[in-house]
Amino acid sequence: MNVDIVEADYWNPRHCSDIKYLTNTYAKDEMGGAYPLPRQTLEEMIEGLRSTSNAFSLIAYHEEEAIGIATCFVGFSTFEARKSINIHDLAVVPDYRNQGIGELLLQSIQKKARKLKCCKLTLEVRVDNRARELYERFGFETGDPEMLFMTKEYY
């Protein structure tokens, strides 16, 4: 299957539409919470990404159809004194899962990390997420000591 991975331009209307569609599709999946994103979130998403200078999104296309997304943020590791990349969202639409699209997105992120001379890639994944196997095959591990990702939400 011919798949193109494109770094999104947050000013390109097609890319913006595809980012919202793919992120909302992920949100509606059980692993994304099983609910569509609120209209306000969808309306504010692109402006939020535009105003976050360390954000980037990669979109996977098959024959002009948007089929996968990775939205990432460049950070900084004080312990390494080098940049890092956190993979915030990585999702593939259901009809294209288990066909290597996630791997292609991860490879593209890894390529960007090397270009930026990052010390590491990070992500969070639910214990019951079937994509966890992909991440482990790709070299991600829980670490020693095993860490928890904790959150406190503000509304």
How many other CB atoms are found less than 10 A from the CB of residue 114?
9
Show pLDDT as tens, one digit a residue, over the chain (155 residues). Answer: 899 999 999 999 999 999 999 999 999 999 899 999 999 999 999 999 999 999 999 999 999 999 999 999 999 999 999 999 999 999 999 999 999 999 999 999 999 999 999 999 999 998 888 899 999 999 999 888 888 788 788 87
Threshold 0.85, pTM exceeds: yes
How far, in Å, CA of 9 to CA of 89, rounded?
17
How far, in Å, CA of 105 to CA of 25, rounded?
17
How far, in Å, CA of 101 to CA of 65, rounded?
13
How far, in Å, CA of 58 to CA of 67, rounded?
11
**Residue 92 one-letter amino acid:** V
How far, in Å, CA of 140 to CA of 85, rounded?
13
Domain annotation for the chain: domains and CATH numbers: 4-137 (3.40.630.30)
Q: Which has the closest alpha carbon to 105: 79, 63, 134, 65?
A: 134
